[in-house]
Structure 1
Amino acid sequence: MSPASDIILGLDVGTTAAKASLFSLDGDVRLTVSREYPLLNPQPGWHIQDPDAIARGVLEAMREAVARIDAGRVIGISISTAMHGLIGLDASLRPVTELLTWADSRAWAQAEILNEHSTGPRLHYTSGTPTHPMSPLVKLRWFRDTHPDLLAGTAHWIGLKDWILVVLTGQVATELSTASGSGMLDMEARTWNPEAIELTGIRPDQLPPIRNTTDILPLAPATAATLGLPAGLPVVLGAGDGPLGNLGTGAMEPGKAGLSIGTSGAVRMVVRTPAVVSGLFCYALTSDVWVAGGAVSNGGMVQRWLTETYAPGADDAEACRRGAMIPPGSDGLLMIPYLVAERASLWDSEIRGAFLHVRQAHTPDHFLRAGVEGVAYQLWTILRRLRMINRVEEVRATGGVFRSQLWRDVVAGVLNRPLIVTGAAEGSGLGAAILGAQALGVVDTLQDGYDLLRGDSSETRIVVSDAAREVYETMHYEVPRILQRYGRLGADFR
């Protein structure tokens, strides 16, 4: 078997699905198998998942993908996962809590207390993670305040990436990227921050060791047998889905921002040294490549809700076609798209969603388009802050919503930048495979890995009409004032 026929498995474990993607070095294999699992909402503000359900989804997706090819061609596995999750494990590495996802906002009171003083901002600038209920640090504060015995008695507090590593390798470890999204990292020292540990009330030994994103662990024998792969196969620790999304879309140069929209959404830009801007995050891809930007909690989930609410019986594609018949600006209708606690750039865990400026003439199709525009405006607030780091000349986008022309046109128009929709639907999974290629010694640089594995993925450049640009540029001035007024109004009802 020639090296050109070797295959890297890029595993992307997201909020609602695990995707196992195979990439051959010669381009003859490029396939993805997906398995879904539920995101549960047992109480207002709680957004949790069953760690075992995620593990089953991961293993099933990987097993089916491997079954479609000669398993002997697979030279390694590399992992991407959603960030900011928190799971407690006992000494036998079994979960003692659910996975508290990034969307879980139960710890809003703990976040507010930290942010009332200098502690919250200081933790943000030290770790790169805003002090917000999504942060594992703040989640641990919630356990400290509500379940102190559980906090102290749990052997390991880990993230989603770390749980997948336990499932695949049987070992407890984390890597720099996941650690940078925990709120507990000292970015400069690349170690756990003693102040953060003290604030959570845990012991240092309850946290996993921080390793490089390119480090390798062996695939455990029992898991290997389940997957049909050889025991000891290299498992590259990988990174968070956000930084890997930039890598997978080719947004790795100054002036190029990466945009991804799945259940949530994010706009990010690569920086060579950690750079923290108010309202934005800064997470690691490798020890010398960092990604600054912001994530919105309300991305593709807004489209799903819009379809279910305003186009019952239709699918998302049909709902988008209907919304596209409405002119830009939705005839004045505006959606404040906060269906769950919002993150960048407001970082307001209690703000609620709303439709504003409703008139009798507005139809369900107006609401469909206004929802898409609302998400795009929220992404624009992030892009505006990124300009404090570097000018954004181009936005490279990935995500299932961009199959819709409505999403393409609206996002390009609102962001008012050239929008390049990449054909690499695998997104973070491709980024994981590229990082894996470097870790396995297949390529010398990440750019070489991108050139090798991206294949013949198509790219589409979206051109915005002058009429649409004029409408959206007017809203650039109006939306911040509307959000400010709405935020003050909402505070009166909390």
Structure 2
Amino acid sequence: MDILALDLGTSSVRGLVLDADAVPRPGALARRKVHLVTGDDGSGTLDGPRYLACLMECLDELAAGGHLRDVELVATSAQWHSVLPLSADGAPLGPVLTWMDTRPEALPGAGGPADPDAFHARTGAWWHRCYWTMRLPWLREHCGTPVTRFGGLVEYALGVLLDEAPMSVSMASGTGLLDLRRLEWDAEACELAGVRPEDLPALAPQRWRGRLRVEYAQRWPQLTDARWAAPVGDGAASNVGSGCVDPSRAAITVGTSAAVRLLQAVPAGAELPPLPEQLWRYRVDHEHVVTGAAYSSGGNLFAWAARELRLPPGAELEAALARAGASRTLRANPRLGGDRPPGVTPAGSGELRGLSFGTTAVDILAVLMTEMCGLVAQDLALLEAGVGEPAEVVLGGGAMAASAWWRAAFVEALAPRPVRHQRNPEIGATGAALVALGRIAEAAHVGGIGRTDDRDAPNTVAARPPR
């Protein structure tokens, strides 16, 4: 049996094929970049139909290469918090609002939860622009067309491809509308969002499986009998793919954005552990929760600086960073994209202070990246206070695979904690496969975790030799 793992990210769509042990098949990787539209007004949107077309192109490429012939299970890692307005037949009425969009705000006269602390404890979220409690009323005001229903990006895409596409509890938890203990839509959150529970997507039951529509089974006949597992939020999937599946290990993932998270086993109906007021909590599946903090700046910060400061590429930049270190006179605020919840700092809040005629472009990049490490370290301490000190930290994600210097900066910021590195950049897809297989606990022994100064080829999926 093979597993097709899909990763519906902010900057790209990826599909890869893994064996029954969730080990990537050599060369079975397809990737398409997607265009995130951003603006000075705080917008951060994707074109839903074009995104779906990119996903289909990945499946076409894998099918043409003969990689789908033994696939029996399809797993999906998808970005949390996305939402788009839909017509009655499921057609988009506007672009997809991603986690990066900071425009939604409370409508005049709107009030928040009656008891914010109790609301946070139940839903793991806040009344905040990132969640559907504030996004749905704002979208209705700005859509220009009456909205029949709403969905996330993955529900839209799978709604086209599959016979049915209920929302997983993992994706539902990222809306801010789910009662994390009872695993049903929260009445107060729905009231804030201006919807009835019956107007929201149906929630997928435990061990739900879907199937391709007939027309798409004809397009990809190798997937005719494959079963599709309920999608997993990208942060949860990344923790599993990083081997961080209990409080002994914290995952720090840096892709387009960045996050620090701890995973705990908490079955549906069980009492939830205490939740620090500055941290969010979402569902991995019916049996596990993940708690953490996220940041709008991550690999996108590195990419912006490299592009706008015209920095040298690859090894040349790494060598320049090693020579420059982090300037002790420079100070920076890396919140170029604003705050993720619970913060409300808007996009465009980045700062640089302490510039001199001796400051170089490499110095600026170094201080931005170092300050990001400091923000993550502060929130990791909050996580530790809530569940006890993790034995170690695992760095993961494409940005971590690409920069040995940035990994070393994290080691310094997180000292004296042991810090390791997951070399496989496809941690989201791998983690989603392990969740779909019901093998989360086994992920503690996932391969690819090594020293932070390991300089192996970063893309271990594409480069892995045949077994």
Alignment CA distance shift 1:183-1:345 (3 Å): closer
| Whole-Å separation in 2 of the counterparts to 1:71 and 1:148 | 39
**Secondary structure at 1:211 match in 2:** coil
- The 2-side partners of 1:201 and 1:148 are apart by 15
Q: Which runs of 5+ in 1 are unaligned?
A: 1-5, 439-444, 464-494
- Post-superposition shift, 1:141? 2.6
In the TM superposition, 1:25-44 aligns within 5 A as 25=20, 27=23, 29-30=25-26, 31-42=28-39, 44=41
Q: Which residue of 2 aligns with 1:487?
A: none
Match of 2:299 in 1: 300
* Separation in 2, partners of 1:397, 1:428: 13
TM-superposed deviation, 1:71: 3.0
2:262 aligns with 269
Query: Which string of whole-angstrom CA distances, capped at 9 and with x for unpartnered residues, describes residues 378-423 of structure 1?
Result: 2112212112222122111211222211111001111222221112
> Could you tell me whether the CA contact under 8 Å between 1:263 and 1:300 is conserved in 2?
yes
> Which whole-Å CA distance do the structure 2 matches of 1:385 and 1:110 have between them?
32
* Match of residue 460, structure 1, among 430, 450, 454: 450
SS at match of 2:434: helix
Among candidates 234, 237, 247, match of residue 230 of structure 2: 237
Matched position secondary structure for 1:332: coil
1:121-147 Cα deviation digits (max 9, x unpaired): 443222112332111221113135x24
Q: Is the 8 A contact 1:213 1:285 kept in 2?
A: no
Give the Cα–Cα distance (whole angstroms) in 2 for the partners of residues 135 and 395 of structure 1.
Answer: 28
Q: Does 1:9 align with 2:4?
A: yes
**2:172 — aligned with what?**
179
Q: Give the structure 1 partner of residue 136 of structure 2.
A: 140
**How many angstroms apart in 1 are the aligned matches of 2:190 and 2:303?**
38
1:94 maps to which residue?
91
- Cα offset for 1:285? 0.8
SS in 2 for 1:362: coil
Superposition RMSD in Å: 2.5
Q: Report the secondary structure of 1:323's partner residue.
A: helix
What's the CA shift string for 1:349-375, capped at 9, x where partnerless?
Answer: 467110122233222121121111121
SS at match of 1:388: helix
Instruction: State the Cα distance separating 1:168 from its structure 2 match.
Output: 2.3
Q: 1:61 to 1:196 in 2, by over 3 A?
A: same
**For residue 393 of structure 1, what is the amino acid of its counterpart?**
A
Aligned identity (percent) is: 24
Q: Alpha-carbon deviations, 1:297-334, whole Å to 9, x = none?
A: 1111100111012225x33654343222212x423212
Task: Summarize the Cα distance change of 1:77–1:450 in structure 2 as closer, same or farther, 3 Å threshold.
Answer: farther
Question: Aligned partners of 2:327, 2:251: CA distance in 1, in Å?
Answer: 27
Structure 2 counterpart of 1:128, one-letter code:
G
SS at match of 1:376: helix
Alpha-carbon distance in structure 1 between the residues aligned to 2:243 and 2:138: 38
Partner of 2:124: 128
Q: Which residue of 1 aligns with 2:393?
A: 395
One-letter identity of the residue aligned with 1:411: F
The aligned counterpart of 1:20 is 15
Q: 1:331 aligns with which of 317, 328, 332?
A: 328
Normalised to the residue count of structure 2, the TM-score between the two structures is: 0.88
* Aligned-pair CA distance for 1:269: 0.2
- Picking from 443, 447, 450, the partner of 2:441 is 447
Q: Deviations over 1:8-54 (max 9, x none)?
A: 01111000111101101275824321111100125611111110111
Matches of residues 128-277 of structure 1 in structure 2 within 5 Å?
128-144=124-140, 146-147=141-142, 150=145, 153-212=146-205, 214-273=207-266, 274-275=272-273, 276-277=275-276
**Is this contact kept in 2: 1:40–1:49, CA < 8 A?**
yes
The reply on whether 1:289 has 2:282 as its aligned counterpart is no
The 8 Å contact of residues 345 and 382 in structure 1, kept in 2 or not, is answered as no
CA apart distance, 1:166: 0.8
Runs of 5+ consecutive residues of structure 2 not aligned to the other structure: 267-271, 454-467
Task: Give CA deviations for 1:35-94 in whole Å, capped at 9, x if unaligned.
Answer: 111001256111111101110111111221233235331111111101000012212111
Query: What is the alpha-carbon distance in structure 2 between the residues aligned to residue 49 and residue 8 of structure 1?
Result: 27
Distance 2:411 2:405 in 1: 10
SS for the counterpart of 1:331 is: coil
Question: How far has the Cα of 1:120 moved from its partner?
Answer: 4.7
Alignment of 1:334-483 (within 5 A): 334-343=331-340, 346-349=343-346, 352-390=349-387, 391-402=389-400, 403-416=402-415, 417-438=417-438, 445-448=439-442, 454=446, 457-462=447-452
Q: What secondary structure is seen at the aligned counterpart in 1 of 2:76?
A: strand
CA distance change for structure 1 residues 80 and 423 in 2, over 3 Å: closer, same or farther?
A: same
Q: Is the alpha carbon distance of 1:254 and 1:359 closer, same or farther for their aligned partners in structure 2, counting shifts above 3 Å?
A: same
Structure 1 residue 344 displacement after superposition = 5.5
User: Which structure shows the bigger proportion of residues in helix conformation?
Assistant: 1
1:414-472: CA deviation from partner (whole Å, max 9, x where unpaired) = 1222221112221110011112223xxxxxx3234675xx4xx4332237xxxxxxxxx
| Partner SS state of residue 157, structure 1 | strand
Aligned residues: 443
Q: SS state of the match for residue 432, structure 1?
A: helix
Is the alpha carbon distance of 1:345 and 1:323 closer, same or farther for their aligned partners in structure 2, counting shifts above 3 Å? Answer: farther
1:335 is aligned with what amino acid? A
User: Distance between the aligned counterparts of 2:147 and 2:404, measured in 1?
Assistant: 48
TM-aligned CA deviation for residue 149 of structure 1: 7.4
- Scaled by the length of structure 1, the TM-score of the pair is 0.83
In structure 2, what residue type is equivalent to 1:360? F
